[in-house]
Structure 1
Amino acid sequence: MTLRLTWRRIGIALAALVLGGLLFGWSGLFYVGATGGHWGVTNWFLHWVMQNSVRTYSLLVEEPPDLRDRALLARGAGHYATGCAPCHAAPGEPQNPVVSQSLPAPPDFSRRIDEWDSKEFFRIVQHGVRYSGMPAWPEPGRQDEVWSMVALLEALPSLSPEEYRRLAYGQEAAEFPAGGSAALARLSDPAAPVLADCARCHNRDGLGRDGDAFPIIAGQSETYLVETLRAFAEGRRHSGMMQPPAARAGDEALQAIARHYAAQPRAAAAAAPADAALIEQGERIAREGVVAQQVPACLSCHGDEALRRNLAFPRLDGQHAGYLQRQLEAWQSGVRGGGPRQELMRTVADRLTADQVKAVSAWFAAQGTRQEAASRP
Structure 2
Amino acid sequence: MKARFAAILSLLGAGFIAGIGTTIFLELGLYDLSALSPHNELERQLIMFLKNNAIEYQSGDIKAPALNDRERIKKGFALYEVQCKVCHGAPGEPRGRVSTGLNPNPPPLFKADDHWSSGELGWIIQNGLKMAGMPGVGIGQTDDDIWNIVSYVKRMNTLSVAEYKAMKKALKDGVDPPGLEWEFPEEGWKKLKNYSASEGKVLLKKLGCASCHSIPGIKAQNTHAGPSLKEWKNRHFIAGQVANYPKSLVKWLMHPEKIDPTTLMPNLDVTEEQAWKMSAYLMSLEE
Superposed counterparts of 1:96-245, under 5 Å? 96-110=96-110, 112-113=111-112, 114-139=114-139, 142-168=142-168, 170-172=170-172
Which of the two has higher C-alpha Rg? 1
5+ residue gaps, structure 2: 176-181, 183-287
Deviation for aligned residue 1:43: 1.8
* Whole-Å separation in 2 of the counterparts to 1:12 and 1:140: 51
Q: What letter matches 1:144 in structure 2?
A: D
In the other structure, the counterpart of 1:48 is: 49
Letter in 2 for 1:29: L
* 1:52 CA drift (Å): 1.7
1:75 and 2:61 aligned: no
Runs (5+) with no aligned partner, structure 1: 174-199, 202-209, 211-377
TM-superposed deviation, 1:108: 1.5
Query: Which residue in 1 is equivalent to 2:58?
Result: 57
SS of 1:95's equivalent in the other structure is coil
Partner of residue 27, structure 1:
28
Matches within 5 A, 1:7-18: 18=19
> 2 CA distance for matches of 1:97 and 1:52?
31
Partner deviation per Cα, 1:56-85 (whole Å, 9 max, x = no partner): 1121202x2221111111111111112111
Shift of 1:88: 0.5
Q: Could you say which structure has the higher helix fraction?
A: 1
CA 1:140–1:127 in structure 2 vs 1: closer, same or farther (change >3 Å)?
farther
Could you tell me how far 1:2 is from its partner in structure 2?
8.6
Q: Please state how far the C-alpha of 1:97 moved relative to its aligned partner.
A: 4.4
Change (3 A) 1:48 1:13: closer
RMSD across aligned positions (CA): 3.6
Normalised TM-score (structure 1): 0.39
- In 2, the alpha carbon distance for the partners of 1:128 and 1:74 equals 23
Rounded to whole Å, the distance in 2 between the matches of 1:125 and 1:72 is 16
Distance 1:143 1:169, change over 3 A: farther
| SS of residue matched to 2:44 | helix
3-state DSSP of counterpart to 1:59: coil
Mapped partners of 2:31, 2:42: distance in 1:
18
State the distance in 2 between where 1:2 and 1:171 align.
74
Q: Which amino acid aligns with 2:26?
A: G
Measure, in 2, the Cα distance between the counterparts of 1:171 and 1:106: 26
The count of aligned residue pairs is 172
Preserved CA contact (<8 Å) 1:89 1:108: yes
- CA displacement, residues 214-271 of structure 1 (integer Å, 9 cap, x when unaligned): xxxxxxxxxxxxxxxxxxxxxxxxxxxxxxxxxxxxxxxxxxxxxxxxxxxxxxxxxx
Q: Matched residues in 2 for 1:14 and 1:141: separation?
A: 46
Evaluate the alpha carbon distance shift between residue 155 and residue 3 of structure 1 in structure 2; reply closer, same or farther with a 3 A threshold.
closer
1:82-121 CA-partner distances (Å, limit 9, x unpaired): 21111111012112344134211111125x3352111111
* Match runs of 1:237-256 below 5 Å: none
Change (3 A) 1:40 1:14: closer
1:359 corresponds in structure 2 to none
The amino acid across from 1:116 in the alignment is W
**For the structure 1 residues 83 and 119, does the alpha-carbon distance in structure 2 shift closer, same or farther, using more than 3 Å as the test?**
same
| CA 172–25 in structure 1, closer or farther in 2 if over 3 Å, else same | same
**Which amino acid in structure 2 is aligned with residue 32 of structure 1?**
L
Summarize deviations over 1:20-69 as a string: whole Å, max 9, x none: 4332112222222334322334323321321121111121202x222111
Q: How far off is 1:153 after superposition?
A: 0.5
Shift of 1:16: 6.5
In the alignment, the residues of structure 1 paired with residue 53 and residue 170 of structure 2 have an alpha-carbon distance, to the nearest angstrom, of 38
